[in-house]
Amino acid sequence: MSKCGNRLARRAAVQFMYQIDMIGEDDPGQLDRFITHYIDESEEFADMNVPFFRKLAANFAESLDAVEIIRASLTNGKDISNAPAINISLMKAAIFETVFEVTDIPVIINEYIEIAKDFTDTKSVRFINAILDKVSKRIERKVS
């Protein structure tokens, strides 16, 4: 599968994370419904690496408090409570991939920064990049 197919999988993972964040905890059929009603019906995702997307999305069920990891990476008394939900979803998806997948961390960060450029402004992209960089230096990976 192409590099583009993996980026599309990550983009879909961000959108799925956003859906989970907006609706609440996911249920067993939520992923399949997302694929059927969103991915399968969108030409944008025609070249997506669906198995990779499923693997990324499966990580979201793991017991990991990504929001707490983000908070621990903030400095100068900053708070994420006012951050746009899509920015939090982007960071959370990147953190889950960093912890549970074998892809090199700089590649993961770069991929999510490129995706962030499609969803948010330049200031937010810099903020997301800074947080992911800090997280990457202190996070414990669950894969070798």
List the CATH number of the domain containing 12. Answer: 1.10.940.10
Closest CA to 121 of 64, 83, 73, 66: 83
pLDDT digits (tens, 9 = 90+) for 106-141: 999 999 999 999 999 999 999 999 999 999 988 888
Query: Residue 118 domain-assigned?
Result: yes
Q: Which amino acid is at 139?
A: I
Q: Which amino acid is at 135?
A: V
Prediction pTM value? 0.88
- Cα torsion 78, 26, 86, 49 to 10°: value is 130
Query: Residue 117 domain-assigned?
Result: yes
Query: Residue 144 domain-assigned?
Result: no
pLDDT digits (tens, 9 = 90+) for 46-102: 899 999 999 999 888 887 788 888 888 887 767 788 889 999 999 999 999 999 999
Enclosing H/E stretch for 138: helix 122-138
For residue 31, the enclosing domain spans: 3-138
